[in-house]
Amino acid sequence: MRALIFGTTGQVARELARTAPPGVEILAFGRAEADLSDPAACAAAVAARDADVVINAAAYTAVDQAEDEPGLAHAINAEAPGAMARAAAAKGVPFLHVSTDYVFDGAPGRAWREDDPTGPLGAYGASKLAGEQAVAQAGGDHVILRTAWVFSSHGRNFVKTMLAYGRDRDEMRVVGDQRGGPTPAADIALALWNIAAARHAGAGAPGVYHFAGAPSVSWAEFAEGIFAASGWARAPRVTAIATADWPTKASRPANSVLDCGAIGRVFGIAQPDWRAGLARVVAELSKETAAS
């Protein structure tokens, strides 16, 4: 199977490269090969290459900054995926696209299902929802994978932030009234590879699916788990605070918990335990620190 992947430096893109199954040939496009702010270039990249599946693991993810540049967020998160999906549809190959819990308004209650009404709270979520709609409207074989609270040993994420700031502090004040499922990027990559293989073989079904880690926790509870996994002799005390006490330019969903039952029923993909992924990431970061 030959996979054309948009994204080379992001968390999921890196893990896609690292976890590619035997026999898979990857064509990875970064900004130099296909600038996501130029949808026509993205479509041309798909049209010019022979691939069995196209995966978009690239995105504009600066949630607060998107409030100041919604046009750029829309170009990268909506127009580019739409162009990729149309080009993939024209070639008759499946298109896999990574989306987000931010398409929901975060109203408290049960876990979000794929067919629940959307209602993004800010420019980032709106751009990602528009991307989902553009991909679906392309009319091709597509899978949209919504995920949440992504972490890995690469790039910027909550795990790395907690480990960087927590080592020298006695207390960490962390939001305790937002809940979600932390998701290891490696598990997202493995899910995408399983879906790609299934769709290439004509198995499974197109559509929107949720994939996030379990059990669901608050950011404060996640921080406690991170410090417990760190193995530090002296870890900071985590104090849960309200969202109102940690103001941000863009609003965050209070409830980001995703119901992941459908992906299990259709593709046989189990919801990952984020604690196992966290242990792997902490071990990777410890090795990097020891080697530096």
160 exposure class (CB count in 10 Å sphere: 0-12, 13-18, 19+): middle
pLDDT of residue 291: 67
Q: What is the pLDDT of residue 292?
A: 62
CA 212, CA 147: separation in Å to the nearest integer? Answer: 5
Q: Alpha-carbon distance 292 to 272, whole Å? A: 31
What are 233-271's pLDDT values in tens digits? 899 999 999 999 999 999 999 999 999 999 999 999 999
Query: Tokens in use for 255?
Result: 């409830």
Angle at 139 between CA 133 and CA 140, to 5 degrees: 110
pLDDT at 10: 93
Q: What is the pLDDT of residues 13-50, one digit of tens each?
A: 999 999 999 999 999 988 777 789 999 999 999 999 99
How do the domains of the chain map onto residue ranges?
2-156+182-213+257-272
Of 141, 194, 186, 200, nearest to 1 by C-alpha is: 200
Residue keyed to tokens 């991909």: 135
**Would you state the pLDDT for residue 35?**
86
Widest distance between CA atoms in the chain: 57
Q: Which pLDDT does position 250 carry in this prediction?
A: 94
Contact of 128 with 175, CB cutoff 8 Å: no
- The pLDDT assigned to 290 comes to 66
With 0-12 / 13-18 / 19 or more C-beta atoms within 10 angstroms meaning exposed / middle / buried, residue 117 is exposed
Per-residue pLDDT of the chain (292 residues; tens, 9 = 90+): 999 999 999 999 999 999 999 999 999 988 777 789 999 999 999 999 999 999 999 999 999 999 999 999 999 999 999 999 999 999 999 999 999 999 999 998 899 999 999 999 999 999 999 999 999 999 999 999 999 999 999 999 999 999 999 988 999 999 999 999 999 999 999 999 999 999 999 999 999 999 999 999 999 999 999 999 999 989 999 999 999 999 999 999 999 999 999 999 999 999 999 999 999 999 999 887 666 6
Homologous superfamily assigned to 2-156+182-213+257-272? NAD(P)-binding Rossmann-like Domain (3.40.50.720)
What is the model's pLDDT at position 286?
85
The verdict on whether 60 is a catalytic residue reads no
Output the pLDDT for position 108. Answer: 82
Catalytic residue among 60, 102, 124, 209: 124
